[in-house]
A and B are shown apart, each in its own frame.
Chain A
Amino acid sequence: METFTYYPGCTLRTKAKDLDTYARKSAECLGINLEEPADWQCCGGAYTTAKDEIATKLSAVRTLNSAKELNRPLITVCSACHNVIKQTNYDISNDEEMAAKVNNYLKLPEPYNGETTVYHYLEMLRDVVGFDTLAQKVVNPLKGKKIAAYYGCLLLRPSKALAMDDPENPTIMEDFIKAIGGTPVIYAQRNECCGGYITLEDKAQASKRSSAVVRSAKDQGADMIITACPLCLYNLKKNSDTELPVYYFTELLAEALGLKEVQNG
């Protein structure tokens, strides 16, 4: 059984327990051991691209370093955490000045220079487990379900740093949907922003974006949307003028693996 360092992030402990719980259950079923680091800190929710911002990058580096110390890849599941950690890792590997400043702050026993490999849970399914193997373990295939994968902005961009999939033509979630027996629905807005954190102060703008996404998915015949992001899920459910069920991808994964009761949707 392969062991990975697993970083849940703040929201998965509270509002997005489903995302977390089913990620863990499914991993176990797939023979992957997820081990949470002893004391992790919140990643900050957003990566600050500014080169003169150092303090805001430290918590992500601590997380990365804790995985490095165990010589294990780091797995994230929340899109926002993944984005922050991946961008931090990219910049620290490519910007010597930033790496030097960060290490001066942290005074780690050994400087951290981007050694850890970061996987999103989906990448783990694709690259470690393999979608073919996953398909073989499915007991409740989601036959006939037309599922729209929602990538949003955080999973794919900036593509230089995230390097998960083609940012304009991604296939990882669609391949995941096929593996669990569903039919993927391709729609143009799948890699556009849902309005994200702006929902806090500008519901109208968030609603405009979320509605555009849900409309586009529904228009292409989707029965439901899946996402990896708690904030996307919230926006698409709460702020859209069009209704469509929205689930975490881990929920459907657990359902297909027979670890969760079948949804009505």
Chain B
Amino acid sequence: MDKNLKEQVLRSSGVNVLKCMRCGKCSGTCPSYDEMEYHPHQFVYMVERGDIETLMHSKSIYKCLTCFACVDRCPRNVEPAKVVEAVRLAAVRQQGNNHMNPNQIPEMLDDDLPQQAIVTAFRKYIK
């Protein structure tokens, strides 16, 4: 367990994971639940335990839609989406760890796709 990594995630997210009361509402409301290996409540708990690397290597960090449903509906104001974001940043900031390659983009496009989708994906996946 890497203590620095945990501290970095906590600082970067600004989230106090100790506020979580383990109700699971974040995971109850998450629209990407079935696509995720680790679910929002697990993110919070695993960060609390310091198990960040497992999360960094999981595809789950690219499945969060950042729709903030968990943030708004959490009864304890924990803001799980911010934890997911912080873990994802910790992953993509590592050298050579960009989740997307600009060369892949053309084949993903169609005529109607607003470039907003590309801009957003770049911001989230590439450092």
Contact = CB atoms under 8 A, between A and B. Distances in A.
Contacts of B112: 15, 234, 237-238
B117 A52 contact: no
B76 interface: no
A50 B113 CA distance: 27
Interface stretch (A41-49, A103-111, A129-137): A41-49
A258 to B, nearest CB: 28
A231 B67 contact: no
Kindly name the residue among A16, A156, A196 whose own CB sees the greatest number of chain B CB atoms within 10 A.
A196
A131 B85 CA distance: 38
Contacts of A51: 11-14
B98 interface: no
A191 B119 CA distance: 23
A163 B77 CA distance: 16
B22 to A, nearest CB: 22
Contact of B115 (A10, A50, A237): A10
A234 B113 contact: yes
A231 B117 contact: yes
A153 B85 contact: no
Nearest to B88: A50
B65 to A, nearest CB: 5
Contacts of B35: 202, 205
A195 B65 contact: yes
Contact of B120 (A16, A50, A80): A80
Interface residues of A, number: 45
A155 B124 CA distance: 19
B11 A198 contact: no
A233 to B, nearest CB: 8
Contacts of B12: 50-53
Given A195-B65, A198-B63, A231-B117, A49 B124 contact: no
Contacts of A53: 12, 89
B66 interface: yes
A80 B118 CA distance: 13
Nearest to A91: B14
Contacts of A16: 114
A115 interface: no
Interface string B83-127: 001100100000000001000010010101111111111011000
Interface of A is mostly: loop
Interface string A235-255: 001100000000000000000
Interface string B50-84: 00000000000011011111011000000101100
A11 interface: yes
Contacts of A234: 112-114, 117
B85 A201 contact: no
A209 B13 CA distance: 26
A113 to B, nearest CB: 19
Contact of A157 (B69, B85, B86): B69
Given A153-B67, A200-B121, A158 B72 contact: yes
A196 B68 CA distance: 12
A206 B89 CA distance: 22
Nearest to A230: B114
A45 B65 contact: no
Contact of B116 (A10, A50, A192, A209): A10
25 contacts: A9-B116, A44-B119, A45-B120, A49-B79, A50-B13, A50-B89, A51-B12, A52-B12, A153-B65, A157-B72, A158-B72, A159-B72, A192-B69, A193-B67, A198-B32, A198-B65, A199-B113, A200-B108, A201-B121, A205-B63, A230-B114, A230-B116, A231-B114, A231-B117, A231-B120
